[in-house]
C-alpha cells in the first residue's frame, strides 16, 4: 500500500476501548488513523485539521446523541468530500434515519463482525461487488433520468447528478460556470420539487431513483 493510495481517517467514540478496537482493524484495509477523539467537538477539530477521507463516529443512545449527530454535519461542512460512517449499538430505524439525515454514508452496528465493519468501510470508496440486476443499471439510469425530466429541468438534473457525486456548492459553480448564488437558487428549486429538506436527502433521492451512477463522473447531457 503506497502513501498515495493510503486512505486516512479520524475516529470518534466516547469509549477509549472502542477507539482502540477500531484503530487496530483499520490498517487491514489500508486506512491510517490521523486522529482519535472522545468528544464531538474534538472530532470536528481533528477533521478540520487533517482533512481525512473518513470520519468513523461512534454514536450511541444517551444525552450526547444530538451533539454527536451534529458533528457529522459540521465535519462535512469543513470537508465536503468526507465520507462518514456511523457505528452504533442502537438498532432502531429512527436512529438510522437520523444518522443519514445528518450526512452519514453508512450505518454499522457495533455488534457486527470485524470483517463486516471493514467491508462497510471499504464500500464507501470502492465498488467490489455487483448484484445481478446491476447488469442493466446504465439503461435503468437513463430511464430514470428521463423520468426525472418530468419533475426537474435539464439544468436541475445536471446539478442533482453532480451534487449526488459529492460536489460542494463552490465546485458546482466552477464546473457549471455560474455563481454560487445561482447554484443555491437551483438547489432551492430542486429541494422544493423533490420535497426534500437538504442536499443529503436530494442526493439520496438521486441514488434511490437511479438518476446518478456512483462510478459515473459525467452527468447526462454534458458529454
Structure confidence by residue, pLDDT tens digits, 137-165: 444 444 555 556 568 888 888 888 888 88
pLDDT digits (tens, 9 = 90+) for 10-65: 999 999 988 988 888 888 888 999 999 999 999 999 999 999 999 999 998 888 88
Helix (H) / strand (E) containing 37:
strand 31-37
Supply the mean pLDDT for the chain: 79
pLDDT above 90 covers a percentage of the chain that reads: 24
Model confidence over 86-116: pLDDT tens digits?
Answer: 988 888 888 888 888 888 888 888 887 777 7
Q: How many residues does the chain have?
A: 223
Sign for the pseudo-dihedral over CA of 99, 100, 102, 105: positive
Does residue 71 have a pLDDT over 70? yes
Amino acid at each position: 500500500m503506497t502513501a498515495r493510495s493510503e486512505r486516512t481517517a479520524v475516529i470518534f467514540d466516547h469509549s477509549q476501548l472502542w477507539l482502540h478496537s477500531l484503530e487496530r482493524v483499520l490498517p487491514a484495509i489500508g486506512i491510517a488513523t490521523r486522529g482519535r477523539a472522545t468528544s464531538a467537538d474534538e472530532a470536528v477539530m481533528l477533521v478540520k485539521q487533517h482533512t481525512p477521507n473518513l470520519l468513523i463516529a461512534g454514536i450511541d443512545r444517551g444525552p450526547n446523541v444530538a451533539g454527536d449527530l451534529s458533528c457529522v454535519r459540521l465535519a462535512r461542512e469543513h470537508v465536503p468530500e468526507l465520507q462518514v460512517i456511523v457505528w452504533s449499538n442502537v438498532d432502531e430505524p429512527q436512529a438510522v434515519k437520523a444518522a443519514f439525515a445528518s450526512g452519514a454514508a453508512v450505518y454499522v452496528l457495533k455488534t457486527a463482525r470485524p470483517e463486516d465493519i471493514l467491508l462497510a468501510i471499504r464500500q464507501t470508496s470502492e465498488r467490489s461487488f455487483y448484484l445481478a440486476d446491476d447488469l442493466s443499471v446504465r439503461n435503468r439510469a437513463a430511464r430514470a433520468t428521463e423520468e426525472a425530466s418530468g419533475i426537474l429541468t435539464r439544468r436541475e438534473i445536471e446539478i442533482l447528478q453532480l451534487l449526488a457525486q459529492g460536489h460542494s456548492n463552490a465546485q458546482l459553480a466552477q464546473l457549471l460556470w455560474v455563481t454560487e448564488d445561482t447554484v443555491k437558487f437551483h438547489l432551492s428549486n430542486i429541494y422544493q420539487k423533490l420535497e426534500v429538506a437538504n442536499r443529503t436527502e436530494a442526493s439520496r433521492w438521486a441514488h434511490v431513483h437511479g438518476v446518478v451512477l456512483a462510478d459515473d463522473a459525467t452527468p447526462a447531457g454534458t458529454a
